[in-house]
Structure 1
Amino acid sequence: MKSTTRGTLAAVVTGVAAAMGAAAATPAVAAERVPVPVPLDGVGRALNLRTPEIAGELPVPMPGGPEEPRYVEGRLLPDQAVPRLPVDAGLPGAGLRTPLPHLLGDGFDHLGADAPAADLTTLTPGLAMDTPLSAPNPDHYGLPDLKFPQAAVLGPLLKSAPGANVGMGAGA
């Protein structure tokens, strides 16, 4: 069998095994992060190579509830007319470990990179506005006073602290 045929067959078998393994995994809704392994063992065995180990993590976004309206004295509308919605998720993580051949011996060293999934807190844009009328004024027989209308767009918010580690070491 040709090496290209062997490699193609190994890739197909690896993909089918990964799909079957993903079907047997726990549901993604129950977890905050979903692991994503990249199976390269079949390719390494078919081509008689040492392959890198690659894995990742994908976050599952979890929407939160909107903030309740805050009423301010002297205003007819609440503080945030269109509330900001929080969405907690994370940045995807990745891990890589690949063998490096020794230049002066028979062993293997490895090069590894690890970027763990980092938490990400977000708030969607919001809108704060007020009408051009004030609250009823008892000095004017309960009629409201005129004032300048107010409108403000509340920008989105992103907070995260990602990090990564890169290193080399002995062993496969």
Structure 2
Amino acid sequence: MKPITRGTLAAVVTGVAATVGAAGPAAAAGTVPVTLPLGGVSTALGMEVPRLGAQLPLPTPGAPDGPRYVTGRLLPDRTLPQVPVHSGLPGLDATAPLPHLLGDGGFDHLGVDAPGGDLRALAPGLSVDAPLTAPDGGHSGLPGTKLPQAGLLAPVLQTDADGTLGTGTGPGR
């Protein structure tokens, strides 16, 4: 291998490693946390306001399982391969004050906690075959005819969702 090729390859590998290292923490989580800052509203109004937080999904595509060559077919199996996608489900964490209608004027709280879960998916794929067979020596090297074939590779979705809805007394979480 020539020194110029080695240097170019080393630069490309270094750039890829730096990119993967920088994107690691956010991509590993699968979600990006977002908090709605309502502290100033609470201070300005002099009352308790809801607390809201969310987790937004960060989808990351994986490497597709490429076409598979099969003997006797002109086109490879899985002509359009399925692409795996890993992500997180959107999450929600909210607490809202519920005033007492009768009594001391205090607050109860209503809380929703639906953490983001792991989501694994495979995009749909396509498998087709031409209406011709492979070239045959018995037909002077010409392909024969056959019925065309087409198949749809079904999408796959795997996840595990969880959530909690509850009420309680006292200050919000």
Partner of 2:109: 110
CA displacement, residues 104-144 of structure 1 (integer Å, 9 cap, x when unaligned): 33543211011111222222232211111223445545543
Corresponding pairs, count: 146
| Correspondence list, 1:13-162, <5 A | 30-31=25-26, 32-102=30-100, 103-105=102-104, 107-140=106-139, 142-162=141-161
Query: Which consecutive residues of structure 2, in runs of 5 or more, have no partner in the other structure?
Result: 1-21
Q: Secondary structure at the match of 1:45?
A: helix
Partner of 1:165: 164
> TM-score, normalised to structure 2's length?
0.72
The residue type equivalent to 2:53 in the other structure is A
Q: Is the 1:29–1:60 Cα contact (8 Å) retained in structure 2?
A: no
The residue type equivalent to 2:25 in the other structure is A
> TM-score, normalised to structure 1's length?
0.73
CA displacement, residues 65-122 of structure 1 (integer Å, 9 cap, x when unaligned): 1112222232222111111211211221111112223433354321101111122222
Q: Is the 2:67–2:80 Cα contact (8 Å) retained in structure 1?
A: no
Cα distance in 2 for residues equivalent to 1:166 and 1:123? 31
Q: Is the 2:31–2:89 Cα contact (8 Å) retained in structure 1?
A: no
Q: Is the 1:28–1:34 Cα contact (8 Å) retained in structure 2?
A: no
Q: Is the 1:130–1:150 Cα contact (8 Å) retained in structure 2?
A: yes
Partner of 1:17: none
Query: Which consecutive residues of structure 1, in runs of 5 or more, have no partner in the other structure?
Result: 1-26
**Change beyond 3 A, Cα 1:29–1:43:** farther
Q: Secondary structure at the match of 1:43?
A: helix
Between 127-136 and 155-164, the greater mean CA deviation after superposition: 155-164
Cα distance in 1 for residues equivalent to 2:71 and 2:107? 72
- Root-mean-square deviation (CA, aligned residues, Å) is 2.3
